[in-house]
Homo-oligomer: A and B are copies of this chain.
Amino acid sequence: MTEGPYGFEEDGRRFVLTSATAMPAASTFLWNRRMLLQLNCRGFATAQFMQPEPAKYAHAPALEARTFMQPEQPYYAHHPGRFCYVKDEEDGGLFSVPHEPVRRAPEAFSFSVGLSDVAWRVRCAGIEVDMSVTLPADDVAELWTLRVRNRSGRHRRLSLYPYFPVGYMSWMHQSGRHRPDLNGIVCDSVTPYQKVEDYFRQRDFKDRTVLLYERVPDAWEANQAQFEGEGGLQAPHGIVAQARLGGGDAAYEMPTTVLQYSVALEDDEVQEYRFVFAPARDDDEVRRLRARHLSHAGFTAARDEHAAHIDDGAGCLRIETPDPWLDAFANHWLPRQVFYQGDVNRLTTDPQTRNYLQDHMGMAFLKPEVARAAFLHALSQQESSGAMPDGILLVEGAELKYINQIPHTDHCVWLPLCLRAYLDETGDDAILDAVVVDREGHAAPVAERVTRAMRWLLQARDARGLSYIAQGDWCDPMNMVGWRGRGVSGWLTLASAYALKQWAGLCERRGDSGLADEFRDGAAACNAAMDTHLWDGDWYGRGITDDGVAFGVGSDTEGRIFLNPQSWALLSGAADAERQARMLAAIDTHLVSPYGVAMYDPPYTRMREDIGRVTQKFPGTAENGAVYNHAAAFYLYSLYQVRDGDRAWRVLRAMLPTEAPTDCLQRGQLPVFVPNYYRGAWRLHPRTAGRSSQLFNTGTAAWLYRCLVEELFGLRGEGDALRVEPRLPSHWPSARALRRFRGARFDVRIERVEGLSQPRVAVDGLWQEALLIRGFQAGRTYEVQVDIPA
Binds B, one of A61-69, A380-388, A583-591, A724-732: A61-69
Question: What copy number does this chain have within its complex?
Answer: 2
The reply on A77 being an interface residue by CB < 8 A is: yes
Asked if B199 contacts A233 (CB within 8 A), the reply is no
CB distance from A177 to the nearest CB of B (A): 10
Asked if B199 contacts A620 (CB within 8 A), the reply is no
Binds B, one of A27-35, A168-176, A658-666: A168-176
The reply on A593 being an interface residue by CB < 8 A is: no
The reply on A617 being an interface residue by CB < 8 A is: yes
Q: Which residue of B lies closest to A252 (CB)?
A: B622
Q: How far is the CA of A230 from the CA of B42 in the complex (A)?
A: 12
Asked if B21 contacts A230 (CB within 8 A), the reply is yes
Chain B residues lying within 8 Å of A21, measured Cβ to Cβ, are: 230
Chain B residues lying within 8 Å of A620, measured Cβ to Cβ, are: 173-175, 188, 251-252
CB distance from A648 to the nearest CB of B (A): 30
**Given that A74-B224, A103-B230, A620-B173 are known contacts, is A194 also in contact with B60, CB under 8 Å in the complex?**
no
Asked if B64 contacts A685 (CB within 8 A), the reply is no
Q: Which residue of B lies closest to A75 (CB)?
A: B61
Q: Which residue of B lies closest to A188 (CB)?
A: B620
Asked if A61 contacts B62 (CB within 8 A), the reply is yes
Asked if B195 contacts A471 (CB within 8 A), the reply is yes
Chain B residues lying within 8 Å of A622, measured Cβ to Cβ, are: 251-252
Q: Which residue of B lies closest to A231 (CB)?
A: B103
CB distance from A489 to the nearest CB of B (A): 15
Considering only residues 667-725 of chain A, those with a C-beta below 8 Å from chain B are 679, 685, 687-688
Asked if A194 contacts B251 (CB within 8 A), the reply is no
The reply on A70 being an interface residue by CB < 8 A is: yes
Asked if A617 contacts B61 (CB within 8 A), the reply is no
Binds B, one of A145-153, A284-292, A400-408, A517-525: A400-408
The reply on A767 being an interface residue by CB < 8 A is: no
**Given that A74-B168, A224-B74, A251-B688 are known contacts, is A199 also in contact with B62, CB under 8 Å in the complex?**
no
The reply on A757 being an interface residue by CB < 8 A is: no
Considering only residues 248-277 of chain A, those with a C-beta below 8 Å from chain B are 251-254
Asked if B77 contacts A77 (CB within 8 A), the reply is yes
The reply on A52 being an interface residue by CB < 8 A is: no
CB distance from A348 to the nearest CB of B (A): 16
The reply on A47 being an interface residue by CB < 8 A is: no
The reply on A196 being an interface residue by CB < 8 A is: yes
Considering only residues 86-135 of chain A, those with a C-beta below 8 Å from chain B are 103
**Given that A63-B67, A64-B65, A103-B232 are known contacts, is A196 also in contact with B73, CB under 8 Å in the complex?**
no
Asked if A74 contacts B61 (CB within 8 A), the reply is yes
The reply on A457 being an interface residue by CB < 8 A is: no
Q: Which residue of B lies closest to A20 (CB)?
A: B230
Asked if B188 contacts A480 (CB within 8 A), the reply is no
Asked if A77 contacts B687 (CB within 8 A), the reply is no
Contact of A251 among B193, B480, B687 (CB under 8 A): B687
Q: How far is the CA of A80 from the CA of B428 in the complex (A)?
A: 58
Chain B residues lying within 8 Å of A78, measured Cβ to Cβ, are: 76-78
Chain B residues lying within 8 Å of A345, measured Cβ to Cβ, are: none
Asked if A196 contacts B479 (CB within 8 A), the reply is yes
Q: How far is the CA of A76 from the CA of B79 in the complex (A)?
A: 10
Asked if B172 contacts A612 (CB within 8 A), the reply is no
Asked if B63 contacts A193 (CB within 8 A), the reply is no
The reply on A225 being an interface residue by CB < 8 A is: yes
Q: Which residue of B lies closest to A65 (CB)?
A: B63
Chain B residues lying within 8 Å of A62, measured Cβ to Cβ, are: 60-64, 76, 79
Asked if B688 contacts A471 (CB within 8 A), the reply is no
CB distance from A199 to the nearest CB of B (A): 7
Q: Which residue of B lies closest to A254 (CB)?
A: B74
Asked if A77 contacts B233 (CB within 8 A), the reply is yes
The reply on A616 being an interface residue by CB < 8 A is: yes
CB distance from A405 to the nearest CB of B (A): 7
The reply on A613 being an interface residue by CB < 8 A is: yes
The reply on A72 being an interface residue by CB < 8 A is: yes
CB distance from A485 to the nearest CB of B (A): 12
Q: Which residue of B lies closest to A484 (CB)?
A: B196
Contact of A619 among B74, B173, B233, B483 (CB under 8 A): B173
Asked if A616 contacts B77 (CB within 8 A), the reply is no
Chain B residues lying within 8 Å of A63, measured Cβ to Cβ, are: 60, 62, 64-65, 67, 70, 73
Asked if A616 contacts B199 (CB within 8 A), the reply is yes
Chain B residues lying within 8 Å of A172, measured Cβ to Cβ, are: 616-617, 621
Q: Which residue of B lies closest to A623 (CB)?
A: B252
Asked if B230 contacts A232 (CB within 8 A), the reply is no
CB distance from A555 to the nearest CB of B (A): 25
Contact of A617 among B192, B471, B679 (CB under 8 A): B192
Chain B residues lying within 8 Å of A406, measured Cβ to Cβ, are: 194-195
The reply on A37 being an interface residue by CB < 8 A is: no
Q: How far is the CA of A199 from the CA of B612 in the complex (A)?
A: 9
Interface centre among A67, A225, A616 (most CB of B within 10 A): A616
Considering only residues 226-243 of chain A, those with a C-beta below 8 Å from chain B are 230, 232-234
Chain B residues lying within 8 Å of A616, measured Cβ to Cβ, are: 172, 190, 193, 199
Chain B residues lying within 8 Å of A402, measured Cβ to Cβ, are: 194-195
Contact of A74 among B188, B192, B234, B253 (CB under 8 A): B253
Chain B residues lying within 8 Å of A173, measured Cβ to Cβ, are: 617, 619-621
The 6 closest A-B pairs by CB, nearest first: A62-B62, A60-B62, A252-B622, A63-B65, A76-B78, A61-B76
15 contacts between A and B (CB under 8 A): A63-B67, A64-B65, A65-B65, A70-B171, A74-B225, A172-B617, A173-B617, A175-B620, A190-B616, A193-B616, A194-B402, A196-B612, A232-B234, A251-B688, A253-B688
New A-B contacts (16) at CB < 8 Å, excluding given A74-B224, A103-B232, A252-B679: A62-B64, A63-B65, A65-B66, A74-B253, A78-B78, A173-B620, A190-B616, A193-B613, A194-B402, A194-B403, A194-B406, A195-B402, A195-B405, A199-B613, A251-B620, A251-B622
